[in-house]
A and B are shown apart, each in its own frame.
Chain A
Amino acid sequence: MAYNLQEVMVNKPSRLTSGHRMCAGCGAPAVARMVLRALKPEDHAVIANATGCMEVSTFIYPYTAWTDSFIHTAFECAGATLSGTEAAYQSMKAQGKLPKDKETKFIAFGGDGGTYDIGLQSLSGAMERGHDMVYVCYDNGAYMNTGIQRSSATPKFADTTTSPAGSVIPGKMQNRKDLTKIMVGHHIPYAAQTLAMTNFKDLYEKAEKAIYTEGPAFLNIMAPCPRGWGYNTEDLMVINKLAADTCYWPLYEVVDGKYHITYKPAKKLPIEEFLKPQKRFKHMFKPGNEWMIKEFQEEVDRRWEELLELEQLTNKEN
């Protein structure tokens, strides 16, 4: 697809308008705006949102920041809710109850709490049933809306309010769940992992593919949280770039089962570069805690190597 990203940014107005109340330096609104920019201007969209920061900051009665149709029901069921909306669309379209020449697209947004944890079943059901929708997880690695509690997306050793870095237990003691792979296991036509990096090209292209691939699609998008991660608000893009360059958050897509890594850093940076600017990992840099950084690095390496192998394995010529 030939396009000019600069033109997209200039000519496609944001479908999530200003005036919402997300924090300065939060990664989520940038993600939502860019995903929605991937919609064709002539297409209508229904956005579903799991309860979370994004929902409570963008639709406070009687105001909404969403220019498309929008539905929020509860925390754990954005997948199921939107699957019902999509089912209604298919039914009404087939019965001639909706205009023939008008396309509606279905996009759900959920944080990692509403997606990895409480909403996993609902998401899994929606993906398995094959609804023509995109589920976007903006992963900020903890339950930020309720005040930074650990989730299954929280990285190991992170200091959260329910996994505090204590004198006996130094933060979260479990590795993070690999949700993208769980979604790949659903054998959906399109699953991808991305983040808002440099010119957002990777995010934009994946969003477009996800939206315009027929059937269920899943996007896992890292979205840093200045409050939960403890970085300076102006450093959002720096943190994103470091996540990609350390391979903490690999950028890849799985199209009909084939893995493509869309960004391979020329020089893979050591994980300290990503950990250091974040207060949630501060205790890892205390003398005597070098083992934590080593262990973290090993896990990142293991997952990155596995991904490289999967790419090779799934693209083998027969």
Chain B
Amino acid sequence: MGIRERLSGNEAVAIAMKQINPDVVAAFPITPSTEIPQYFSTFVNNGQVDTNFVAVESEHSAMSACIGSEAAGARTMTATSANGLSLMWEMIYIASSLRLPIVLSLVNRAVSGPLNIHNDHSDAMGARDSGWIQLFSENNQEAYDNTIMANRIAEHEDVLLPLMVCQDGFITSHSIENIELIEDEKVKEFVGKYTPKHYLLDDKNPMAIGPLDLQSYLFEHKAQQAIAMKNAKKVILEVSKEFEKMTGRKYGLFEEYKLDDAEYVVVCMNSTAGTVKQTIDELREKGIKAGLLKVRVFRPFPGEEIAKALSNAKVVAILDKADSLNGQGGALYEDVVSGMYNEKLTIPTVNYIYGIGGRDTTSKDIEKVYEDLIEINKSNKLENPYRYLGLRGDK
């Protein structure tokens, strides 16, 4: 049986990292992920892990050091938020192109500017095309579980891509909730040893990494990254199945909540799913067939699977906690809709940009979304599919 505890999301991730016991952690503090390197450096200084903690002078150097370390042959982890990820921008592309399975805990926060420290998904969305696997987590339990599964997925020889585990800043990172931890020994066995085939510290087989890669080969190397990203889907499901055997907790590419017979469906990620579930329960009592599809795996994007899961819905609302500022719609919306198009699923879909900069999203807001969906279905009219939820003065 697991260990019952009460922890914040940040504590949960730090404990997962302690159990994983990586060789190197290189990190720089930034709200709201600061606690992760704080807790972790305590584990290091109290001799509870074997990790070498590198207290770098910036996030750019954090990711650079992670790349240098992972390439050396060391299991390497880090954590950041918002502007920290922005400063890593150049290096996250290099990490994925060098096929280094670094694991990053991303505590989602609004990217400046102006400056804001609260939650939205603009940091993660900025990295959506960087070649990183992105897992989203509704609560501390999921943040913990995803972290325990992360190395296995990233380090799989069919994948070899870096991975970020996302959770909502403050909402889950700083809220203390019940959690079930896995025993240290079980985690150790589950995660296993990191045994890269090629690494810098292999003195018998010196290796050169990070070439000038011109017209003759770069295209092929990028295509290999794309193949690895596609492969990740299968590996994520395999690892999740094994995880379920160990813990009884089931994870897929996404979670369906009362979706089977749902006519009105909300698609969202991270903590908002909790609010949506509660609203669904209330609506169901009134006889309204409401449902939820909560995306766990955003990269690789399971467009085909999502479209299939939505095929019985009458109307779908896709909630984006980041605006793409493209005059068209949020990133999750566009990906879901293109997945639906490929599957020839042409039910009305509407996009809501919500929760920007930590704007609270209540069950009243979610009720409003379902009311809109019912209205769209009734009137058979869909005006302005690109909307805001909870914006001041928005009618």
Which residues of A approach B to under 8 Å, CB–CB?
A: 44, 46, 48, 55-56, 59-62, 64, 66-74, 76-77, 79-92, 94-95, 97-99, 102, 104, 121-122, 124-126, 128-129
Contacts and interface: CB of A to CB of B under 8 A. Distances in A.
Contacts of A44: 201, 203, 206
Contacts, number: 167
24 contacts: A44-B206, A46-B201, A67-B206, A70-B207, A71-B210, A73-B67, A73-B210, A83-B54, A84-B68, A84-B70, A84-B76, A87-B26, A87-B54, A87-B65, A88-B23, A88-B68, A88-B72, A88-B73, A92-B23, A92-B72, A94-B50, A99-B203, A104-B201, A122-B61
Nearest to B68: A84
A121 B209 CA distance: 23
A61 B208 CA distance: 10
A74 B89 CA distance: 12
Contacts of B207: 69-70
B69 interface: yes
A87 B210 contact: no
Contacts of A59: 208, 210-212
Contacts of B52: 87-88, 90-91, 94
B66 interface: yes
A173 B189 CA distance: 63
B64 A69 contact: no
B24 interface: yes
B57 to A, nearest CB: 3
Contact of B214 (A61, A87, A94): A61
A124 to B, nearest CB: 7
Given A84-B26, A92-B73, A71 B68 contact: yes
A72 B64 CA distance: 10
B211 to A, nearest CB: 4
Contact of B50 (A62, A77, A95): A95
Nearest to B74: A88
A210 B52 CA distance: 24
A186 B101 CA distance: 33
Contact of A85 (B94, B98, B200, B206): B200
B73 to A, nearest CB: 7
Across the A-B interface, give the 9 residue pairs with the lowest CB-CB distance, nearest first: A84-B68, A84-B65, A88-B74, A125-B57, A88-B72, A80-B61, A44-B203, A80-B64, A72-B210
Nearest to B198: A69
B122 interface: no
B203 A80 contact: no
Contact of A71 (B56, B76, B200, B203): B200
A125 B56 contact: yes
Interface residues of B, number: 45
Most chain A CB within 10 A, of B62, B200, B209, B213, is at B200
Nearest to B22: A91
Contacts of A104: 201, 203
A128 B61 CA distance: 13
Contacts of B94: 73-74
A275 to B, nearest CB: 34
Contacts of A67: 206
B208 A66 contact: yes
A59 to B, nearest CB: 5
Most chain B CB within 10 A, of A73, A89, A97, A99, is at A73
A104 B68 CA distance: 14
Nearest to B66: A84
Contact of A82 (B68, B90, B208, B210): B68
Contacts of A80: 56, 60-62, 64-65, 68
Contacts of A84: 24, 26, 54, 64-70, 72, 76
B55 interface: yes
B212 A81 contact: no
Most chain B CB within 10 A, of A59, A88, A89, is at A88
Interface in B43-92: 50-52, 54-58, 60-62, 64-74, 76, 90-91
Contacts of A87: 24, 26, 52, 54, 65, 68-69, 74
Given A88-B76, A91-B51, A73 B57 contact: no
Contacts of A83: 54, 56, 61, 65, 68
Nearest to B94: A73
B208 A69 contact: yes
Contacts of A102: 203
Most chain B CB within 10 A, of A67, A68, A91, A124, is at A91
Nearest to A90: B52
Nearest to A126: B61
B40 to A, nearest CB: 14
Nearest to B67: A73
A46 B54 CA distance: 19
Contacts of A62: 211, 217
Interface string B265-283: 0000000000000000000
